[in-house]
Chains A and B, each alone.
Chain A
Amino acid sequence: MQERLKELQQEAIQSIEQSSSLKELNDIRVAYLGKKGPITEVLRGMGKLSAEERPIMGALANEVREAIATILEAKQKDLEEAAVLEKLASESIDVTLPGRPVKVGNHHPLTRIIEEIEDLFIGMGYQVAEGPEVEQDYYNFEALNLPKGHPARDMQDSFYITDEILLRTHTSPVQARTMEKNQGKGPIKIICPGKVYRRDNDDATHSHQFMQIEGLVVGENIRMSDLHGTLEIFAKKMFGEDREIRLRPSFFPFTEPSVEMDISCMICGGNGCNVCKKTGWIEILGAGMVHPNVLEMAGYDSKKYTGFAFGMGPERIAMLKYGVDDIRHFYTNDVRFLKQYSKHE
């Protein structure tokens, strides 16, 4: 009997090791350990044994049963793992195929430039002021020290609607309106972005509609050195920390003294190239100290208050910054153009 049990154990283990599927394994389980299996049969024959032999044989039978069960379990685990691996292998996909595109648009390049400038000045305590695009002659010209008959306000250059109403030719009327609204009190720190219009034929460098951003600071004891410092921060933040700036005297009816600012060319670093016309410098904005006539007309005591103003063209900045070669691209809205401004810098 003892031998028979040992034989069964040997047989079973051999079958388990040879089995290759969970079903086969289950059949082996039923065959050896089931109620009709040979071990049970052996145990049934224990009645014939003596009282001394019975517990010894019983223990042995259980030992054999456990040994088979342990090996069986281990084998089952192996086979299950293999099955999972097989399933996963069959599920594999081509990870190099393209993903499902996410539809995302982006800012127009001019908005991108304008918001960048707005944010820069907001950080320095400026507010964003806006005003009408259809303007009174008074705010567009007269309040800015450009009286009627002034050569710089030729009818030919502006889109008039009536003698007194026109499409604004710059965003400066917003400055005049803001000052008037503040009723002779300071401080004012504003940045004024917006659309402006001039009577130009559209070509690669001219557009009858374009954007402008102007800034105005009015307060007690505002100095030209403050303008210098402000413009330097602007130039470095907007065009890169290694940009140099250069101020040149200029002329605008609404500022005195007047300034034009150049930055060292970002293309050639100041060595001279086609973009900077071999000068190493690029003209970027006009500025100056607010003309006392402008302050007085808006109700400010020019003995007490001084201010500075500056103005620039987002199209020009975008053209320089991104290398755009034709101003009309900004208004044609070719999606192949618009799409190029999605990347965050």
Chain B
Amino acid sequence: MFVSYKWLQDYVDLSGVSADELAEKITKSGIEVEGVEVLNEGITGVVVGHVVERVQHPNADKLSKCQVDIGQGEPVQIICGAPNVAQGQKVAVATVGAVLPGNFKIKKAKLRGEESNGMICSLTELGMEAKIVPKEYSEGIFVFPQDAEVGADAIALLNRNDEVLELGLTPNRADCLSMLGVAYEVAAILGRDVKLPEIELQPVKEKATDYITVKVEANEDNPLYAAKVIKNVKIGPAPLWMQTRLMSAGIRPHNNVVDITNYILLEYGQPLHAFDYDRLGSKEILVRRAQDGEKFTTLDDVERTLTSDHLVITNGTEPVALAGVMGGANSEVTSDTTTVLLEAAYFTGGTVRKASKDHGLRSEASARFEKGVDPNRVRAAGERAAYLMAKYAGGEVLEDASVVDTLTVEPAVVSITLEKINSVIGTNLTVEEVEAIFERLQFAVTSEEETITVTAPTRRGDIKIEEDLIEEVARLYGYDNIPKTLPIGSATPGKLSQYQDKRRIVRQYLEGAGLYQAVTYSLTSEEKAAQFALEKRDFIRLAMPMSEDRSILRLSIMPQLMEVLKYNSARQNDSLAVYETGAVFLANGNEVLPEEQEHLAGAITGLWHSHSWQGEKKAVDFYVLKGILEGLFAKLGLTESVTYVQAKVDNMHPGRTAEIHLHGERIGFVGQVHPTMQKELDLKDTYVFELSLKAILEEATAPLRYSGIPRFPSITRDIALVVDKETVAGVLQDIIQTAGGKLLKEVTVFDLYEGERMEEGKKSIAYSLKYMDPERTLTDEEVTKVHTQVLEALKEKAGAVLRG
């Protein structure tokens, strides 16, 4: 809502309060003023001029040579390019020395050899937006009414010496979609009175009811419809002050009748509609739901197909307006109109919202109906419009109105105790102070003991319950005046849950290990949704996605991390390590919520390490990433519970991928991205993992216990084994560990050889075994005994022999 500071003074005395001060006060007490526009900012030296002579420019077809009286002695010569400039006009002249918006300075000039002393201005040149300039002046200069005084300040005459407050209204404050509503708000803030607009009807001795009958079939959607009739109107421009007020509010002037309905819309917040009575084709108004498939051409000349959801105003048979949204081309007021049928009605929000949305017709009128107009102001708005039509369009208003009124208007009566107000806000207000606040708002208020009863006027439909009253008290008392305290009551422990705490540990660990945290989108494309998924489930698809790329909830984080690698690689960052924690979404059928499983995924690509001047360079490989995971599992106390099993996973290298098992259950994978995909994404060798973070964080961690520092020396035996190439280290390790029993403290792989010096199909793998007894020093014989058992077990279970 745009509020003219000057116009507002019709209703509230604003003396001593500048527009900026007012904006600040309004903002602090409830309605955000998003900006204050100074309409004449950067404009000086524009006066009313009289075009005393206009002739064709001798050297240019499209220019006129004008002699313009600007009230400073002799007329001055001005060259003008506007097609509509004519002798006798009163126009806005930017005189020599004037400044126009954009710091455009007017100087003496010669145009095609002819002297020009100033510029005749269009409204856009004076800083107005093209969309609010009246159509007849949109291609040329603006022309003042003949009574404009030569030499007068043209900017003042155009009401541009004004400031406009732009209100950002929340949905509950639809009452401020009108100048009167804003006036009540401002009056409450300033503690001043509201002056209502005048209505002095002098009807002619004819009755509107003889001209028109009104019937309403759809009473629920339209509980009030009042039709007034105004005869003998003369269609012409509205008075300049009215046109300029409309323009300040962002509405383009048309003609006096239409402008008056728009003026009332702004003044009362009540949309009205003017029909050309003679074009209605009947003496009847029937309001009903449209029939499915019914056609209707709105006054923007678009044919619309209606449904039974839409409410129409008809002449008994044909629609003449889409209720509350837009009138029809068939009954529109034109320059020939002489009798006006003026509609003032109450349409319910839902009906209008549906129609305006279905037809893409959001207008100043529909917006007000949608949010709810004041039921008590409907009739008054019609009366005031009729009065203005009599005054400014020469019309004769007929007595009464044809009315259907089943609207029951009961103002909300709400009671509240003083104690409640003070305990919710945290203040110590008295009954008198609270009453004073409601009186400022012009709410009827009574009190008995400490119970305060408030009757909210119908313009404030948002006041319904105690809390609404508390808000009114709080905001007019001033939010900033509310004390600053902290909650009192029983103490609550502030602490992360174990899960949340461990998740932070995981992040810190991975970052310490060199990975950056990424955050990616949960929505992905059909193609990517299926990639790398640990579990195959049905896709969870949005009903109305914005694009195919973001239409399905992810089943895996990995495709998004691949995107991150691709993006960075394409920008010369091809050595990269990233991770992400976040939910993946596993469908559980259509009608229930999906399972949201928190996953952890990581990816490393390119060089893991390089220190160029020392000639060190190390590309990422499987064991770099596995080492990071092993460290993570150790941190979470899961080393003993996790195993790695060679496996094939979609989009992964078939020979370089392992499933990660927790207590034998698959919870994730680690390995190299399939070379085909690496190539598609233009990545260097890339190793990735993804696992269920939920699974590893929900695992109970054994309490930390001190285990003593060994006091006796250990004995180490190294062995090099020859085994089949297919025998994996994990199996050998298990055999050694089992056979070694409790004296075997540590088993480490220290060499792997698969070269040509080995027999075909064999490899050599070397282990270092550390034996120790925490209670005493082991003898050589004791170690040899256990070690022999280990070697025998290796031979028996894995066919491993010592390398000769």
Chain A interface (Cβ < 8 Å from any Cβ of B): 97-98, 100-101, 103-108, 110-111, 115, 118, 121-128, 130, 132-136, 149, 151-152, 155-156, 159-162, 164-165, 167, 186-187, 189, 195, 197, 199-201, 208-209, 217, 219-226, 228-230, 232-233, 246-251, 256-260, 289, 291-292, 306, 330-336, 338-339
B423 touches A221 (CB 8 A): yes
Q: Evaluate whether A330 and B519 lie within 8 angstroms (CB atoms) in the complex, with A160-B542, A251-B173 already known.
A: yes
B424 touches A126 (CB 8 A): no
A105 touches B513 (CB 8 A): yes
A335 touches B576 (CB 8 A): yes
Cα separation A118 to B503 with both chains bound (whole Å): 14
A258 touches B567 (CB 8 A): no
B173 touches A133 (CB 8 A): no
Q: Determine if B487 is an interface residue (Cβ-Cβ < 8 Å).
A: yes
Q: Determine if B585 is an interface residue (Cβ-Cβ < 8 Å).
A: yes
Q: Determine if B418 is an interface residue (Cβ-Cβ < 8 Å).
A: no
In the complex, the chain A residue whose C-beta lies closest to that of B486 is A229
Query: Which of A167, A248, A332 meets B27, CB within 8 Å?
Result: A248
B516 touches A161 (CB 8 A): no
B546 touches A335 (CB 8 A): no
A105 touches B577 (CB 8 A): yes
In the complex, the chain A residue whose C-beta lies closest to that of B466 is A292
Question: Which segment of B194-202, B467-475, B663-671, B758-766 sits at the interface?
Answer: B467-475
Cα separation A325 to B632 with both chains bound (whole Å): 36
Chain A contacts for B46, CB-based, 8 A: none
Q: Determine if B638 is an interface residue (Cβ-Cβ < 8 Å).
A: no
A187 touches B546 (CB 8 A): no
Cα separation A229 to B487 with both chains bound (whole Å): 9
Chain A contacts for B611, CB-based, 8 A: 100-101
Q: Determine if B484 is an interface residue (Cβ-Cβ < 8 Å).
A: yes
A103 touches B609 (CB 8 A): yes
Query: Which of A106, A229, A289, A336 meets B517, CB within 8 Å?
Result: A106
B540 touches A134 (CB 8 A): yes
Q: Determine if B409 is an interface residue (Cβ-Cβ < 8 Å).
A: no
Q: Evaluate whether A199 and B544 lie within 8 angstroms (CB atoms) in the complex, with A251-B171, A330-B519 already known.
A: yes
Q: Evaluate whether A291 and B467 lie within 8 angstroms (CB atoms) in the complex, with A199-B546, A221-B489, A228-B485 already known.
A: yes
Write 30 A-B pairs (CB below 8 A) sorted by A numbering.
Answer: A100-B611, A103-B609, A105-B579, A122-B494, A125-B491, A127-B496, A133-B522, A133-B596, A134-B553, A151-B171, A159-B543, A159-B544, A160-B543, A161-B541, A161-B543, A187-B492, A217-B487, A225-B484, A233-B486, A246-B28, A248-B479, A249-B30, A249-B479, A250-B170, A256-B471, A289-B470, A291-B467, A332-B567, A333-B568, A338-B516
CB of B546, distance to nearest CB on chain A (Å): 6
Cα separation A289 to B473 with both chains bound (whole Å): 14
Chain B contacts for A232, CB-based, 8 A: 484
Cα separation A165 to B171 with both chains bound (whole Å): 25
A104 touches B471 (CB 8 A): no
Chain B contacts for A156, CB-based, 8 A: 544
A226 touches B485 (CB 8 A): yes
A224 touches B426 (CB 8 A): yes
Chain A contacts for B353, CB-based, 8 A: 151
Q: Determine if B488 is an interface residue (Cβ-Cβ < 8 Å).
A: yes
Cα separation A123 to B520 with both chains bound (whole Å): 30
Q: Evaluate whether A127 and B493 lie within 8 angstroms (CB atoms) in the complex, with A224-B424, A257-B475 already known.
A: yes
Cα separation A106 to B496 with both chains bound (whole Å): 21
Chain A contacts for B577, CB-based, 8 A: 103, 105
Chain A contacts for B518, CB-based, 8 A: 108, 333, 338
B594-636 interface code vs A (CB 8 A; 1 in, 0 out): 1010000000000011010110100000000000000000000
Query: Which of B470, B519, B541, B553 meets A108, CB within 8 Å?
Result: B519
Chain A contacts for B511, CB-based, 8 A: 104-107
Cα separation A258 to B32 with both chains bound (whole Å): 13
A333 touches B564 (CB 8 A): yes
Chain A contacts for B515, CB-based, 8 A: 105
Cα separation A113 to B614 with both chains bound (whole Å): 38
Q: Determine if B571 is an interface residue (Cβ-Cβ < 8 Å).
A: yes
In the complex, the chain A residue whose C-beta lies closest to that of B489 is A219
Chain A contacts for B27, CB-based, 8 A: 248
Q: Determine if B578 is an interface residue (Cβ-Cβ < 8 Å).
A: yes
Cα separation A241 to B583 with both chains bound (whole Å): 36
Cα separation A115 to B508 with both chains bound (whole Å): 12
Query: Which of A104, A128, A201 meets B496, CB within 8 Å?
Result: A128
CB of B587, distance to nearest CB on chain A (Å): 10
Q: Determine if B102 is an interface residue (Cβ-Cβ < 8 Å).
A: no
Chain A contacts for B541, CB-based, 8 A: 161
Q: Determine if B708 is an interface residue (Cβ-Cβ < 8 Å).
A: no
B519 touches A105 (CB 8 A): no
Q: Determine if B550 is an interface residue (Cβ-Cβ < 8 Å).
A: yes
Q: Evaluate whether A104 and B514 lie within 8 angstroms (CB atoms) in the complex, with A162-B543, A225-B483 already known.
A: yes
A251 touches B170 (CB 8 A): yes
Chain A contacts for B520, CB-based, 8 A: 331, 333
Cα separation A61 to B650 with both chains bound (whole Å): 95
A134 touches B593 (CB 8 A): yes
Q: Evaluate whether A230 and B517 lie within 8 angstroms (CB atoms) in the complex, with A159-B542, A248-B27 already known.
A: no
Q: Evaluate whether A225 and B425 lie within 8 angstroms (CB atoms) in the complex, with A256-B467, A333-B578 already known.
A: yes
Cα separation A36 to B470 with both chains bound (whole Å): 118
Q: Determine if B482 is an interface residue (Cβ-Cβ < 8 Å).
A: yes
CB of B596, distance to nearest CB on chain A (Å): 5
CB of A193, distance to nearest CB on chain B (Å): 10
B517 touches A105 (CB 8 A): yes
Cα separation A143 to B418 with both chains bound (whole Å): 29
Beyond known contacts A103-B514, A338-B517: 20 more, CB 8 A cutoff: A100-B611, A103-B513, A105-B510, A124-B486, A133-B522, A151-B370, A152-B171, A189-B492, A208-B546, A224-B426, A226-B487, A228-B484, A229-B486, A230-B486, A247-B479, A249-B479, A250-B170, A251-B171, A331-B520, A333-B568
Query: Which of B484, B491, B521 meets A229, CB within 8 Å?
Result: B484
CB of A236, distance to nearest CB on chain B (Å): 11
Q: Evaluate whether A161 and B489 lie within 8 angstroms (CB atoms) in the complex, with A248-B30, A333-B578 already known.
A: no
Chain B contacts for A249, CB-based, 8 A: 29-31, 471, 474-475, 479
Q: Determine if B465 is an interface residue (Cβ-Cβ < 8 Å).
A: yes
B487 touches A257 (CB 8 A): no
A209 touches B546 (CB 8 A): no
In the complex, the chain A residue whose C-beta lies closest to that of B490 is A187
Which residues of B in the span 557-594 have a Cβ within 8 Å of any Cβ on A?
564, 567-568, 571, 573, 576-579, 582-583, 585, 590-591, 593-594
Q: Determine if B500 is an interface residue (Cβ-Cβ < 8 Å).
A: yes
Cα separation A92 to B734 with both chains bound (whole Å): 49
Which residues of B in the span 422-468 have a Cβ within 8 Å of any Cβ on A?
423-427, 465-468
Q: Lowest 3 A-B CB distances belong to which pairs?
A: A225-B426, A103-B514, A251-B170
Chain A contacts for B613, CB-based, 8 A: 97-98
Cα separation A200 to B521 with both chains bound (whole Å): 14
Cα separation A326 to B506 with both chains bound (whole Å): 29
Cα separation A125 to B31 with both chains bound (whole Å): 34
CB of B81, distance to nearest CB on chain A (Å): 37
B542-554 interface code vs A (CB 8 A; 1 in, 0 out): 1111100010010
CB of B784, distance to nearest CB on chain A (Å): 43
Which residues of B in the span 503-541 have a Cβ within 8 Å of any Cβ on A?
504, 507, 510-523, 540-541
Q: Determine if B58 is an interface residue (Cβ-Cβ < 8 Å).
A: no
In the complex, the chain B residue whose C-beta lies closest to that of A123 is B494
A195 touches B522 (CB 8 A): yes
Cα separation A229 to B479 with both chains bound (whole Å): 12
Chain B contacts for A331, CB-based, 8 A: 519-521
Query: Which of A104, A128, A260 meets B512, CB within 8 Å?
Result: A104
CB of B130, distance to nearest CB on chain A (Å): 25
Q: Evaluate whether A133 and B513 lie within 8 angstroms (CB atoms) in the complex, with A187-B489, A257-B470, A334-B568 already known.
A: no
B523 touches A333 (CB 8 A): no
Q: Determine if B711 is an interface residue (Cβ-Cβ < 8 Å).
A: no
Q: Determine if B103 is an interface residue (Cβ-Cβ < 8 Å).
A: no
Cα separation A73 to B467 with both chains bound (whole Å): 100
Chain B contacts for A162, CB-based, 8 A: 543, 590-591
Q: Determine if B497 is an interface residue (Cβ-Cβ < 8 Å).
A: yes
